[in-house]
Amino acid sequence: MIIVSLFVCLSLYAQKGKHVMCKWHKNGDSELNLPDEGYDYFKKGKFFYYLSNDKDYLYVDIKTDDSGVQNRMLQEGMILWISMDDKKSKNTGVHFPIGVKNLKGRGAGFPEGSGEGSIINPNSPIALANTIEFIGFSDAEPKRIPARNIDNFNGLVRYDKEGNLFYHIAIPITRLPVSSDLRREGAMPFTIGIEYGATPVTGRPAGGGIPAAPSGRPAGVPAGGGSRGGRPGGVPGGGMMPPGSGTSQSVVPPVILWISDIILATER
């Protein structure tokens, strides 16, 4: 079953309270020319986000000028979780970028980079942000595809001249997961989670989700930095101390923003 009924009138939900309405994505819109007033700010995550759609795609755009956040996004990766049951669940998601750390031992992804202009260093974090990985999509084969596609999932990560990092991903509406509740009809609201700094996909149990470390906290490696405006440098420091040292640095948990009760916009 394909969710094609997401475009019915918003008034069907007038009695259900506040909803997050996507903006209508016009032809020619790109991550670099979206209006500033259309973005919302996630204070804890130190990034701005913009939700929009047209008749074919759901678009998620993110921008940040915080170098520490930029570093974590590129080194540790990002996951966009999608729940059509309007619940905060980590069962179905799109992993992009995969993150430099998560590429180790798994190949370097696809050769075409997604940075703006010419790429001097093909092994730089921005050049390696070139692969989309599917989590929990039963109909997704292969599980990893190049980020730059036509008529499919597609994404890019790039900087502007001021050092802002822009993230953009387009998700075909026909590929949105279906609700597990057969009683739900019409333009159901849905939930997305925007997460960066998550555990590598390698070793994730079937069915999705992020496994926990023995301490009960999400596994991962801490990232450095926090000054504004600069581009992230090398691999962030941190991690566990050698055995027998008696101490360890604290693990920096992932950062996630859940956005519930999202409704797709209708063409104006």
Q: What is the pLDDT of residues 54-111, one digit of tens each?
A: 999 999 999 999 999 999 999 999 999 999 887 899 999 999 999 998 876 555 556 5
Question: What is the per-residue pLDDT for 226?
Answer: 38
Sign of CA dihedral 258, 263, 266, 268: negative
Would you state the structure tokens that stand for residue 200, as one six-digit string?
Answer: 């590598």
pTM comes to 0.72
186-211 pLDDT, tens digit each = 557 899 999 999 865 444 433 444 43
On whether residue 239 sits in a domain, the answer given is no
Confidence category of residue 139, pLDDT binned at 50, 70, 90: confident
Q: Would 257 be classed as within a structural domain?
A: yes
Q: Tell me, yes or no, whether 203 lies in a domain.
A: yes
Could you tell me which of 138, 137, 171, 136 has the C-alpha nearest to residue 154? 171
Which region among 64-73, 78-87, 226-235, 252-261 has the lowest average model confidence (pLDDT)? Answer: 226-235
61: containing domain: 5-207+222-233+251-263
- Number of structural domains (the chain) is 1
Of 91-100, 148-157, 180-189, 229-238, minimum mean pLDDT range:
229-238
Question: What pLDDT is attached to residue 138?
Answer: 80
156, 168 Cβ separation under 8 angstroms: yes
Q: β-strand 144-146 against 131-135: which pairing, if any?
A: antiparallel
CA distance readout (Å), 241 to 25, 105, 106, 216, 237: 48, 22, 25, 18, 11
Contacts 24+ apart (CB under 8 A), 103-106: 103/128, 103/131, 105/202, 106/202
Token pair recorded at residue 91: 């069962």
Q: Is residue 202 situated within a structural domain?
A: yes
What mean pLDDT is reported for the chain?
74
Among 118-122, 160-164, 262-266, name the one with the lowest average pLDDT: 118-122
Q: Where are the alpha helices (DSSP H) in 13-151?
A: 67-76, 100-103
Look at residue 216 and tell me if it is in a domain.
Answer: no
CATH number of the CATH domain containing 148 = 2.60.40
Position 268 in a domain: no
Domain-embedded: residue 15: yes
Q: Note whether residue 245 is domain-resident.
A: no
